[in-house]
């Protein structure tokens, strides 16, 4: 097994696998992403060259009970959801610490029995970026047909999860993955790490901090009230606001200011950000971003379809600067 070891912020030795390494029966092809809690590799099995994604939790996070719970929850809940617009889970497992990891832990003053195994999940590999690639800058314009398609596919995925009694709780551009051919763009909803069942009464906050991404968080999520499918719809509306205008509904300088805006400020007028957008979208988004969940649309698909109808045949101005291409053919 070819790898090098880094020391994490919590003092644990942590492995980074190099191309060609054999890990849990998979061959590493490339490291494709690295976050605060896990690395994601493109891998294949044996002679089967079909790519899969292997998500490997960092060693110190494996020893973190909450992080390990979130990792396990991502697999357990997403495995309930068989849908073409939701990333498919395949299997999961753990890698015991090897002798090198144990020796390095002891050199750092950590007892050998505190070196946790490495948790991993094998899932569908998506050969494309997240929907963050579609967010326009101040000098570019949104790819409206692509965004409409991504919105309707994402809405179908979210509504399907709701039909299976699952709330995603972290809908945002970074958790919608894209893959493209010359004719179409496919969107797949990912990262069910903080998802919950609709009737789940687990605490919504840890040490006073709400779990989720605050820029897309609904008032009921921020105030630890009862969640519902409308909670994901609010986050979905925040996501579409950003994809169409370049910023989420309430871009503010601090987390406190963003929270206060979600709770008290009126939804933004999209036409103030992009004057060429149809004025009817202002009221459409105002409903999806209503403070009271009961005032929102009944489903994400209903909202996405109304957005699509309003954007049909709308001329998009030429951007000041060209967009960077993101498609891979």
What's the distance, CA 105 to chain centroid? 32
> 35-40 long-range CB contacts below 8 Å, 24 or more apart?
37/61, 37/67, 37/71, 38/71
**Hey, which residues are catalytic here?**
170
Q: Any long-range contacts for 272-276 (C-beta under 8 Å, 24+ apart)?
A: 273/245, 273/246, 273/247, 274/141, 274/142, 274/244, 274/245, 276/314, 276/315, 276/316, 276/317
Largest CA-CA distance found in the chain, in angstroms, rounded: 65
Q: Is 284 helix (H, G, I), strand (E, B) or coil?
A: helix
| Contact by Cβ (8 Å): 280, 311 | no
């Amino acid at each position: 097994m070819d790898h090098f070891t880094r020391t994490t912020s919590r003092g644990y030795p942590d492995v980074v696998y190099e191309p060609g390494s054999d890990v849990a029966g998979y061959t590493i092809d490339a490291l494709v992403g690295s976050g605060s809690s896990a690395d994601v590799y493109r891998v294949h099995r044996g002679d089967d060259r079909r790519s899969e994604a292997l998500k490997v939790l960092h060693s110190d996070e494996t020893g973190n009970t909450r992080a390990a719970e979130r990792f396990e929850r991502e697999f357990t809940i997403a495995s309930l959801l068989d849908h073409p617009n939701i990333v498919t889970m395949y299997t999961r497992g753990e890698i015991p610490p090897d002798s090198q990891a144990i020796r390095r832990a002891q050199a750092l003053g950590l007892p050998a029995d505190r070196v946790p195994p490495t948790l991993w999940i094998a899932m569908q590999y998506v050969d494309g970026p997240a929907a963050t690639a579609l967010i326009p800058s101040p000098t570019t314009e949104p790819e409206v047909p692509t965004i409409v398609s991504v919105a309707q596919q994402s809405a179908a995925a979210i509504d399907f999860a709701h039909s299976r009694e699952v709330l995603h709780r972290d809908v945002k551009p970074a958790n919608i993955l894209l893959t493209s051919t010359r004719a179409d763009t496919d969107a797949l909803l990912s990262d069910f790490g903080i998802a919950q069942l609709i009737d789940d009464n687990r605490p919504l906050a840890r040490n006073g901090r709400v779990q989720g991404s605050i820029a897309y968080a609904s008032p009921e999520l921020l105030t630890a009230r009862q969640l519902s499918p409308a909670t994901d719809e609010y986050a979905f509306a925040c996501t579409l606001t950003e994809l169409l205008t370049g910023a989420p509904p309430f871009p503010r300088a601090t987390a406190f200011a963003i929270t206060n805006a979600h709770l008290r400020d009126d939804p933004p007028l999209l036409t103030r950000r992009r004057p060429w957008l149809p004025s009817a979208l202002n009221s459409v988004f105002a409903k999806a971003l209503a403070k009271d969940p009961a005032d929102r649309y009944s489903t994400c698909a209903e909202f996405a379809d109304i957005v699509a109808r309003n954007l049909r045949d709308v001329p998009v101005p030429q951007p000041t600067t060209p967009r960077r291409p993101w498609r891979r053919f």
